[in-house]
Amino acid sequence: MLGTGLLGTAVGIRAELEQFPTAVAGVVMSCYYLGFLIGCWIAPRMVQRRGHVKTFAGFATLGAAAAVGYPLMPDPAAWSIIRVVTGATMAGLYVVSESWLAGIGSPKTRGRLLAVYLLVVNAGYGVGQFLLSIASPIEPTLFLIAAFLMTLSAVPLLSTRPTTPVKSNPQHLRLKEILRSAPLGLATSFVTGIGVGAILGFGAVYGIEVGMSVERVGLLMAMAMAGGIALQWPIGALSDRISRRHVIIGSTIAAAAIAASAAAVDPLSVAVLICMFGFTAFSFPLYSLAVSHVNDALHPDKLVAASAVLLAVYGVGTLLGPVGASLAMEAIGPAGFWMVGATAHAALGLYGLYRLIKRRHLLEAHHLPPLPINPSPQSAWLIEDTAEMPIPSHRG
């Protein structure tokens, strides 16, 4: 993540220094997300064939090679291809890491494991920004450092004997299977992507639009990253002790309330900085809760595929977040930036409450409907509503 944080910012600055047209630079940068979706599709197959360690090492090496390619070929067409490769490798590294942690964890520890993982991800990405002061992005130095760090990430896996998940036969997982087993987890991943995409993809633009100085914009984004780290562990630990549904609902409602408050205050006041910290503190940890919630409901053989599906849905959300923020700001002004996050999280909170009420009704009237020896296709609908019923020994 140190290398990724450095590379992402260095590429954007280098594109400006190379005088890429604004529209062209936007297309080049967006190619990362295309690659990200491709990586989510490829990674589960690679894990199935090569295992977690070899897949991680392969993606890390390919990502390092892509980092070196930027200064070697400073051309929009070449960069578009390299950005696709960069996005695919990062998605692959995320799928391996998240499915690995989910596989070695249990319902009682999974929330804390993934919370620590996301804490490291956010901290590494943020600290990577400070490496920009080493050299100018017009030189190849920063790109070489990013490549070095990405290659270095594979060394611990190749030089030690890490605890890998129990070997299984990874299975293909369709989107509707998650919708049936843990729809709230899927919705949470999507909404978190919208929030993260709006903040990280459009937060700097919002700051400039409302009249902030460059230093003030930097402080705003620093508050966003600090907030994203602050409650990762407490919220993850809490979700291991009580129902994850309750934690998801409480966190998303808190994020919605803070975002709505930010829309009503002066954009140049200290209150906006506080609101930025509070919003990301409750919004960013939701992804780890989504992964934990979905993995609690699935068979271990489907954890790798589930990580890929959740990342893809998250990626779609990050694509829509900046677009939604820009359209909302154009329609209603600076407050629109915050209303996108407030609306999305409020909708998730209402959906979570609906799922919670529906589940309680199923618990109260839980029974297995009698089926004939040769049931008709329609009989499947009778038992579909029981798909989310917990095993008696499993916590709600």
- The token pair at 76 is 């929009």
305 residue type, one letter: A
Q: What is the pLDDT of residues 337-347, one digit of tens each?
A: 899 999 999 99
Residue 390 falls inside a structural domain: no
Q: Is the same domain home to 10 and 153?
A: yes
Domain boundary residue, one of 125, 159, 193: 159
Can you give the C-alpha Rg of the chain in angstroms? 22
By C-alpha distance, which of 295, 302, 321 is closest to 117? 295
**pLDDT score recorded for residue 175:** 66
Rounded distance, CA 362 to CA 195, Å?
32
Tell whether 146 and 190 lie within a shared domain. no
What span, in angstroms and rounded, lies between the C-alpha atoms of 67 and 158?
21
Which of 109, 135, 159 is the last residue in one of the domains? Answer: 159
Domain ends where: 159, 179, 209? 159
Domain span at residue 70?
A: 1-159
Tell me the DSSP string of 158-171.
Answer: HHS---PPPP----
* Residue 150 lies inside a defined structural domain of this protein: yes
Are 101 and 180 part of one and the same domain? no
Distance between CA 105 and CA 216 in Å, rounded? 41
For residues 177 and 128, membership in a common domain is answered with: no
Q: Would you state the pLDDT for residue 392?
A: 40
Give residues with Cβ within 8 angstroms of 228, minimum separation 6: 122, 280, 281, 283, 284, 285
Same domain, 278 and 138: no
> Is residue 182, in this structure, part of any structural domain at all?
yes
Same-domain status, 127 and 235: no
Q: In terms of domains, do 139 and 221 share one?
A: no
At residue 62, the pLDDT reads 95
380 assigned to some structural domain: no
Indicate the number of domains in the chain.
2
The predicted structure's pLDDT at residue 78 = 93
Distance between CA atoms of residues 102 and 282, nearest Å: 22
Residues of the chain with pLDDT under 50: 368, 371-396
Q: Are 190 and 118 found together in one domain? A: no
Domain co-membership, 182 together with 327: yes
What pLDDT sits at residue 365?
A: 54
Please check whether residue 385 lies inside any domain of the structure: no
Task: Look up the pTM and report it.
Answer: 0.69
Alpha carbon 108 to its chain's center? 22
In terms of phi and psi (left: phi > 0; alpha: psi -120 to 50; beta: otherwise), the region of 211 is left
Smallest CA-to-CA distance from 194 within 281, 283, 111 is with 283
Residues 212 and 130 in one domain: no
CATH number at residue 174: 1.20.1250.20
Looking at the structure, do residues 118 and 267 belong to the same domain, yes or no?
no
pLDDT at 20: 79
Question: Is 209 inside any structural domain?
Answer: yes
Cβ contacts of 188 within 8 Å, gap of 6 or more: 248, 252, 286, 287, 289, 290, 293, 348, 352
Find the helix packing angle between 183-209 and 286-296, rounded to 10°. Answer: 170
Q: What is the Cα–Cα distance from 39 to 333, expressed in whole angstroms?
A: 36
Position 396 scores a pLDDT of 40
pLDDT for residue 288: 84
Q: Which two tokens stand for residue 101?
A: 């942690």
- Residue 90's alpha-carbon distances to 27, 252, 369, in angstroms, are 19, 27, 46
Inside any domain, residue 386: no
Determine, yes or no, domain membership for 372. no
Same domain? 78 vs 16: yes
Cβ-proximal residues to 155 (8 Å cutoff; 6+ apart), any chain? none
